[in-house]
Chains A and B, each alone.
Chain A
């Protein structure tokens, strides 16, 4: 049986992670959500390292990735994900406070699927997350091991 897509949130700001979760739920997304506090944690999960949770081979994932995080930042995580033959098909959506065009460009070059700026203005934030929900509802997410 096909399992539901699991949404991974890599975000060092607890508050931001909470807002993303709440608004995904309001947008009707009921998928399982996993929260990681920095770039190192999410990479340990994806590469099945360390003592924490580990990625399951028969599950499809979508990664919502903040750029500025301690230890490993979002751009480094994105680079590693796109360089990994198993992980590179996983959709990665950058969610960040940065709207610097150079940084957006950089992430697109690295291969992110989408880029969402966390707007301070809440309506736009809710809209952005709602659209993300729609995107997640229709997107074909390959399982990370590539056997869809």
Chain B
């Protein structure tokens, strides 16, 4: 029968539709302005209602109440794009739901097919991703290293010519002094105002090969030293992580200078120690020769005691002289070693840094050497001196040494005048010990600070340590010493020391 056949065909078609319907992964329903006409197994699984319960139910009840108005609007406006709402299961549980509806003709009228998709997993993944990104971005932002993401810029021939900033962190914007909006999108030559993009070759290698590299460099446009780590997250892109190591470099330079100074000191000391050793060994051998001469003289068979005495006289004289040289050399070596020990001890003494009343300190220093001052008949003027921040004992040693030197190297041709004055400027105190003595030749004005250096040993006493210790003391006190001198006119020794920090009151 035709009708039967027609019914059969219709039933088959509905069967197929249902099979397809139930095979789909999400929930699907056909509804008329919310009233569910048909649905698949998926919707039942998702919502917890049975198929029987769902059919004839108001589909809006499958959505959390606060979203129902929105859903109704979208149904009425025949909105066709997917959108996210909160779903409501039979048991009252809420879940993330994405729905998308489409109007279709159905059994002679226009109804709507709506697909339900449970996106809880995706939402959670997105949430996790967002949290992760937040963590990374806060790390990125709070890093003290400058982190910049770049992409290479190529010319028409495919040759790398520049690179562009894609992203950068706060440290970068602060250190370079450029706002993020101004940096992102700019090329290196624009940002750094250089003719060529800095380190283009190195960066390009990393961007092409993906092999990370790391180097230390001095970046002239910023006058800073950096350690730069370069990595490539993907081809033609690279990230730089730069650490400002300028302070470390400065410290290293200071250490190098100190080491050089130390090396110089060891060199001078070992040279000076070697000098007496040459004598000790040399005259030791000479003693040996003299003993041989003496033996020969004794063996020669002299006719009289006087003749024997005369024969042994020359080798005996040699021996006496040799012993004298040996003895002097050991004394000299002992003095040198004591000097080195003294310097070492001074360098290790414990400092007590505090505010110093320099007027009191200098008058005490002068009182201690009053006898020499009076004996030398010098005119000693001390101006009002600013207080400084240092160690009293060490500073006393510095000035006692400088005043002592001024007294020692006075010019006998004119009455001695020594002036001590001081001033304070920008956190530093500068004191000056000035004399009208013999002065120092420009060629020797630096070497006077070297260990054991004495310009004219014959004319004055001393071990050649005074100014070496003065310089060492001042270095330990964050101070400095320098000299200005005109031979035949006099010398000025300038001592700089830290002033008292403004919040400290002098007692």
Residue ranges of A at the interface with B (Cβ–Cβ < 8 Å): 13-16, 18-19, 22, 37, 68, 70-71, 76, 97-98, 100, 118-122, 125
Contacts and interface: CB of A to CB of B under 8 A. Distances in A.
Nearest to B286: A22
Given A22-B286, A70-B456, A71-B456, A97 B443 contact: no
Given A19-B283, A98-B271, A125 B278 contact: yes
Interface string B247-287: 00000000000000000000100010011111101111110
Given A15-B328, A71-B456, 8 more contacts: A13-B279, A15-B276, A15-B329, A16-B279, A70-B456, A122-B284, A122-B285, A125-B281
B457 interface: yes
Interface of B: 267, 271, 274-279, 281-286, 321, 325, 328-329, 443, 454-458
A120 B277 contact: yes
B279 A70 contact: no
Contacts of B321: 18
**Top 6 A-B pairs, shortest CB-CB distance:** A15-B279, A19-B282, A15-B325, A122-B285, A97-B274, A120-B277
Secondary structure dominating the interface of A: loop
B443 A76 contact: yes
B45 to A, nearest CB: 90
Contacts of B457: 70
A120 B458 contact: no
Contacts of A14: 325
Contact of B458 (A19, A70, A98): A70
Contacts of B325: 14-15, 18
Contacts of B328: 15
B267 A16 contact: no
A81 to B, nearest CB: 16
A132 to B, nearest CB: 15
B281 A120 contact: yes
A70 B447 CA distance: 11
A106 to B, nearest CB: 14
A97 B281 contact: no
A132 B456 CA distance: 30
B275 A121 contact: no
Given A19-B283, A70-B458, A122-B285, A13 B443 contact: no
